[in-house]
Structure 1
Amino acid sequence: MTQIHLTWGNILTLRGDALVCPAHKHLIRGRGLSAQIYAQGGVELATQCGRQLKCAVGEARLTNAYHLPVDYLLHTVTPQWSSGDQWGALAIGQLRRCYESVLCLAREKGLKRILFPALGAGTNRFPHAISAHQALEVLNEYSGEFDQLTVCLHSPAALGEWERVERRFYTV
């Protein structure tokens, strides 16, 4: 079974087969990490994304990565966190579906080393504990089908939160 690797730093410097990009439904340049990916991917990435079908929340699309240190980008549209109100359960299910869709598409394309950011925990404001729990549950379910699953967080504090969730729920 593949070990899930948690780390922190600049995900755009890591190597793998594919990097997961938090996406806008029209696969246009978004905010946060998405903006950084599009800036580094260049005009070629924007052009290829412009030819893709609209991507609903929880779905995934594949493009080339162009000037990034991976071969492909796996774009997924993450839900907005709304402070745990009446739509919170729906958003949590949609976030889980993002991870599932990305991993199913990666498996279909034969990609074995996948790099994930903390989906939903950036500009879409999911608490790291909720994001980590959904991610780690899905990643553990699919881990036997991949060589490397890496989650790269943006800070040591975020990494600590994910490690606490991992120890509490997923360490044997």
Structure 2
Amino acid sequence: MEKMKLTCGDILTLRGDALVCPAHKHLIRGRGLSAQIFDRAGEALAEECARLPECPVGGARITSAPNLSVRYLIHTVTPQWSSGDQWGVEGVVQLRQCYENVLGLARERGLRRLLFPALGAGTNRFPHAIAAHQALVMLHSQVAEFGKLTVCLHSAAALGEWQRVERRFFKEPLINSLPDGKNSLEL
């Protein structure tokens, strides 16, 4: 069984133990995927979130997932992309903390199958290549501790970008055989 998967489609139709929700620090309905999740989950989610403490950027909180195809939502507040200016490094560190804290919370709760969107790359405007690298560093380092980690992208173009990053940084390079069957040139 494939333990880590990159795919494209509607993340709200996928099944798993938990779906990661890009969150507002007050855990209220945000924009993009957050809005879709809150709209589908209804008032029960809004009421549950209202009882939780504020969540800092990079932090994570867990709630039930009413009316969704998962048991739990893990909310994480992603940083805004600052166009690579002097605050850009802090945002990259915070984005990695989102994954770190989500994975830690899932591990504490015994959740094995997680669904991730491209955290930070939606309304917070992180370039997909940067978002993918930060995500894949964390996910590849901890995939053995989970049953399945799925990253679901919203477009084929985004999926292609994440696949390029994964091939470049996380897959073993293939050895190309020379026409005579040898794997290296003799000098």
TM-score, normalization by structure 1: 0.99
1:3 Cα deviation (Å)?
2.9
User: 1:29 corresponds to which residue?
Assistant: 29
User: 1:155 corresponds to which residue?
Assistant: 155
Query: Residue deviations 1:126-158, cap 9 Å, x none?
Result: 000000000000001111110000000000000
User: 2:128 corresponds to which residue?
Assistant: 128
1:96 Cα deviation (Å)?
0.1
User: 1:162 is paired with a residue of what secondary structure?
Assistant: helix
1:162 Cα deviation (Å)?
0.1
User: 1:76 corresponds to which residue?
Assistant: 76
The structure whose Rg is larger is 2
Q: In structure 2, list runs of 5 or more residues that go unmatched.
A: 173-187
User: 1:59 corresponds to which residue?
Assistant: 59
Partners of 2:78 and 2:95 within 8 A in 1: yes
User: 1:21 is paired with a residue of what secondary structure?
Assistant: strand
Partners of 2:3 and 2:146 within 8 A in 1: no
Instruction: Give the aligned CA root-mean-square deviation in angstroms.
Output: 1.0
| Paired residues for 1:137-156 under 5 Å | 137-156=137-156
User: 2:42 is paired with a residue of what secondary structure?
Assistant: helix
Q: In structure 1, list runs of 5 or more residues that go unmatched.
A: none
Give the residue type in structure 2 aligned to 1:163: Q
Partners of 2:20 and 2:117 within 8 A in 1: yes
User: Aligned partners of 1:151 and 1:9: how far apart in 2?
Assistant: 10
User: 1:29 is paired with a residue of what secondary structure?
Assistant: coil
User: Aligned partners of 1:2 and 1:18: how far apart in 2?
Assistant: 18
TM-score, normalization by structure 2: 0.91
User: 2:9 corresponds to which residue?
Assistant: 9
User: Aligned partners of 2:3 and 2:83: how far apart in 1?
Assistant: 32
User: 1:26 is paired with a residue of what secondary structure?
Assistant: coil
Change (3 A) 1:145 1:41: same
User: 2:108 corresponds to which residue?
Assistant: 108
1:7 Cα deviation (Å)?
0.2
1:4 Cα deviation (Å)?
1.4
Q: What number of residue pairs does the alignment pair up?
A: 172
User: 1:105 is paired with a residue of what secondary structure?
Assistant: helix
User: Aligned partners of 2:103 and 2:22: how far apart in 1?
Assistant: 14
Give the residue type in structure 1 aligned to 2:40: Q
- The structure showing larger relative contact order (alpha-carbon pairs under 8 Å, at least 6 residues apart) is 1
